């Protein structure tokens, strides 16, 4: 059995810790690798390499840095299928979704190659008589990245391409549940010509995270993961006077109004709720359907969900893969029991389609869900959908706004006034109109609100340029007498 190594200073090195954890293919329960549970000493080595590399890398001309990422981009395109298969193997999502994820990651690299334009400063030739001012951007130093299991390619690519092209160096701690894709990214970065020490990987769990949070030479932290861990990271990182951005949990609400195109809405919401086994921070988790279309919509929707193909993501036509681990499968069952005991009506029970070859749970739909129920409140991160009947858009928005989370929200309608009402009143940072997963492209911020995000500057878009740079403003007086 292969034990992964850490990637430090351009070399694959064994962890200082002897403890390991299993990496499991959730569709087969097979152990596919072991990873070291690295410790503080490993983090210190990686940070030292990154700090030393920073002294050189920060002075490399921006277009030269970007060119390495053009090469990296080309390699990612060439390896798309291979990367997709790695994601499906370690995460369980369908190969189509994995390949789509690889492409979303590639978009981030494309965006980062714009660093020369994105990091240009501003200037004003005359702020007073013979005085001018200019604003220049500089990197901040070593950045630490901590990522979740559900997007092993896309989420790290929200972080290191931009951080590195603008001149920082990077220490990444990938999810211990899905670390294999990161190994491939490190190999391709090396092949693209990235100098040693600029990108480092330390595998492990809590101890690595704490090592990153407490290391004085790590100046900024990008985190994506659950709310509880994000809060901890935001607090401890800020206490240690670092810049922190923490993108956290979600509970996304989708509304279907009477005039919606039912066929299109059904297709989009089936995929949004049950694709990736509901383990998506932009998954539709609560569905509000307007009274006048409720029966027609639900008949077609439930029929479509019954026909979802569940299985190993490498097989053709599979939509619903396994959840990531046995404890997630157990948690999903307990949420189904909770939904029933708290009084929701179960239309489709995922326990009927369980398959023990992997951590599979079939799609579950509850209706008559109310805001006091656990299945309405909690981020379940599972293939469970809660459905509510609403009188109008106002009721749908007011109900959704009671959630502590505010990542994404979607609306299916062609009514322009309802769209405007939704946009102006819903508490969510990423909105979809007539689509199910409104994950913004790389040049827009991934802009969760409320308990879905802690910090000021989000990942991606101009926010990411600001997060990974600091500014120097030069004010200069010139003498006319010298001309
Ligand atoms: P997680 O919070 O369990 O893990 C994320 C990272 O934190 C991992 O690298 C993990 O090793 C580390 N970690 C876990 N427990 C820790 C602890 N006690 N102390 C220190 N570090 C710890 O999240 P996950 O289960 O891997 O991913 C799913 C979560 O990520 C969901 O809540 C989902 O909504 C969220 N997510 C959010 C976004 C977003 O953009 N808002 C995107 C993707 C995923």
Nearest CA to ligand 1 atom 38: 281
pLDDT of residue 337: 98
Q: Of 105, 135, 137, 109, nearest to 122 (Cα)?
A: 135
What is the Å distance from ligand 1's center to 225 Cα?
A: 3
Distance CA 126, CA 349 (A): 69
DSSP state of 428: -
What is the Å distance from ligand 1's center to 7 Cα?
A: 22
pLDDT class of 482 with cuts at 50, 70, 90? confident
Distance CA 81, CA 183 (A): 16
What is the Å distance from ligand 1's center to 137 Cα?
A: 31
What is the Å distance from ligand 1's center to 18 Cα?
A: 24
pLDDT of residue 300: 98
Q: Which two tokens stand for residue 240?
A: 């240690």
Annotate 65-116 with DSSP letters as a single string.
HHHHHHHHHHHHHHTHHHHHHHHHHHH---HHHHHHHHHHHHHHHHHHTTHH
For strands 430-433 and 408-412, give the pairing. Answer: parallel
Q: Are 222 and 245 in contact (CB under 8 A)?
A: yes
For strands 469-477 and 131-139, give the pairing. Answer: antiparallel
> In whole numbers, what is the pLDDT of the chain averaged over residues?
98
Q: How many CA atoms does the CB half-sphere of 92 hold within 13 Å? A: 35
Q: Which atom of ligand 1 is nearest to the CA of 150?
A: 27
Q: Are 138 and 472 in contact (CB under 8 A)?
A: yes
Tens digits of residue pLDDT in 302-350: 999 999 999 999 999 999 999 999 999 999 999 999 999 999 999 999 9
Nearest CA to ligand 1 atom 22: 206
pLDDT of residue 354: 84
CA 162 to chain CA mean position, Å: 15
Nearest CA to ligand 1 atom 43: 281
Nearest CA to ligand 1 atom 30: 225
Nearest CA to ligand 1 atom 39: 247
pLDDT of residue 20: 98
Q: Residues marked as binding for NAD(+)? A: 149, 173, 176-177, 248, 379
Can you tell me which residue has the tokens 């978009």?
A: 107
Q: Helices 62-78 and 154-165: crossing angle, nearest 10°? A: 160
Q: Which atom of ligand 1 is nearest to the CA of 147?
A: 9
Instruction: Using the predicted structure, report yes or no on whether residue 462 has a pLDDT greater than 90.
Output: yes
Pocket of ligand 1 (CB under 6 A): 146-151, 155, 173, 175-176, 205-206, 209, 224-226, 229, 247-250, 281, 379, 381, 407, 446, 448, 452
CB-CB neighbours of 299 under 10 Å: 12
DSSP state of 139: E
CA-only gyration radius of the chain, Å: 24
Per-domain boundaries in the chain: 6-248+443-474, 252-433
Q: Which atom of ligand 1 is nearest to the CA of 227?
A: 32
CATH of 6-248+443-474, picked from 3.10.180.10, 3.40.605.10, 2.60.40.350, 3.40.50.1110, is 3.40.605.10
Kindly list the catalytic residues. Answer: 281
Q: Which long-range contacts (CB under 8 A, 24 or more apart) does 344-353 make?
A: 344/368, 344/369, 344/370, 344/373, 344/375, 344/386, 347/298, 347/302, 347/387, 348/302, 348/305, 348/306, 350/383, 350/384, 353/310
Instruction: Using the predicted structure, report yes or no on whether residue 267 has a pLDDT greater than 90.
Output: yes
Q: Which atom of ligand 1 is nearest to the CA of 175?
A: 9
Burial class (CB in 10 A: 0-12, 13-18, 19+), 358: buried
pLDDT class of 281 with cuts at 50, 70, 90? very high
Q: Are 369 and 288 in contact (CB under 8 A)?
A: no
Distance CA 146, CA 209 (A): 7
Tens digits of residue pLDDT in 131-154: 999 999 999 999 999 999 999 999
Distance CA 461, CA 22 (A): 35
DSSP state of 440: P
Instruction: Using the predicted structure, report yes or no on whether residue 481 has a pLDDT greater than 90.
Output: no
What is the Å distance from ligand 1's center to 229 Cα?
A: 6
- 252-433 has which fold? Aldehyde Dehydrogenase; Chain A, domain 2 (3.40.309)
What CA–CA distances, in Å, run from 447 to 103, 142, 441, 442? 20, 24, 11, 12
Give all strands of the β-sheet with 384-390 in edge-to-edge order.
345-348, 364-367, 384-390, 284-290, 252-256, 408-412, 430-433
CB-CB neighbours of 52 under 10 Å: 15
Tens digits of residue pLDDT in 27-53: 999 999 999 999 999 999 999 999 999
Angle subtended at Cα 128 by Cα 125 and Cα 132, rounded to the nearest 5 degrees: 30
Tens digits of residue pLDDT in 203-229: 999 999 999 999 999 999 999 999 999
């Amino acid at each position: 059995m292969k034990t992964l190594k850490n990637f430090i200073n351009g070399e694959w090195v064994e962890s200082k810790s002897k403890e390991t954890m299993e990496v499991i293919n959730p569709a087969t329960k097979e152990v596919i690798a072991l990873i070291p549970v690295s410790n503080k000493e490993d983090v210190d080595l990686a940070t030292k390499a990154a700090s030393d590399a920073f002294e050189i890398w920060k002075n490399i001309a921006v277009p030269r840095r970007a060119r390495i990422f053009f090469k990296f981009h080309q390699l990612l395109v060439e390896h798309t299928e291979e990367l997709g298969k790695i994601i499906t193997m370690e995460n369980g999502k369908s190969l189509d979704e994995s390949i789509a994820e690889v492409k979303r990651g590639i978009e981030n690299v494309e965006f980062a190659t714009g660093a020369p334009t994105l990091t240009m400063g501003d200037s004003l030739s005359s702020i007073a008589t013979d005085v001018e001012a200019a604003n220049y951007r500089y990197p901040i130093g070593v950045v630490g990245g901590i990522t979740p299991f559900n997007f092993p390619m896309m989420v790290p690519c929200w972080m290191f391409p931009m951080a590195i092209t603008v001149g920082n160096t990077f220490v990444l701690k990938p999810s211990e549940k899905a670390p294999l894709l990161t190994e491939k990214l490190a190999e391709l970065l090396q092949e693209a010509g990235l100098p040693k020490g600029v990108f480092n990987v330390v595998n492990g769990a809590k101890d690595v995270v704490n090592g990153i949070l407490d290391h004085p030479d790590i100046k900024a932290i990008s985190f994506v993961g659950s709310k509880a861990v994000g809060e901890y990271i935001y607090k401890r990182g800020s206490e240690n006077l670092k810049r922190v951005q923490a993108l956290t949990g979600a509970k996304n609400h989708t509304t279907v109004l009477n005039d919606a195109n039912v066929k299109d809405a059904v297709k989009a919401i089936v995929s949004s709720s049950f694709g990736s086994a509901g383990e998506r921070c932009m998954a539709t988790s609560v569905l509000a359907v307007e009274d006048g279309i409720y029966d027609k919509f639900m008949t077609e929707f439930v029929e479509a969900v019954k026909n979802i193909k569940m299985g190993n993501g490498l097989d053709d036509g599979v939509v619903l893969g396994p959840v990531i681990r046995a404890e997630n499968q157990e948690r999903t069952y307990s949420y189904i029991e909770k939904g029933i005991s708290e009084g929701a009506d179960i239309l489709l029970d995922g326990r009927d389609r369980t398959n023990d070859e992997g951590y599979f749970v079939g799609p579950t739909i509850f209706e008559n869900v109310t805001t006091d129920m656990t299945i309405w409140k909690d981020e379940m991160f599972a293939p469970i959908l809660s459905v509510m009947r609403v009188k109008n858009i106002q009721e749908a928005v007011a109900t959704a706004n009671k959630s502590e989370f505010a990542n994404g929200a979607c609306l299916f309608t062609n009514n322009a006034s309802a769209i405007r009402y939704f946009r102006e009143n819903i508490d969510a940072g990423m909105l979809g109109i007539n689509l199910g997963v409104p994950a913004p492209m790389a040049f827009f911020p991934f802009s969760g609100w409320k308990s879905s995000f802690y910090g000021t500057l989000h990942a991606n878009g101009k926010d990411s340029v600001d997060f990974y740079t600091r500014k120097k403003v030069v004010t200069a007086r010139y003498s006319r007498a010298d001309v």
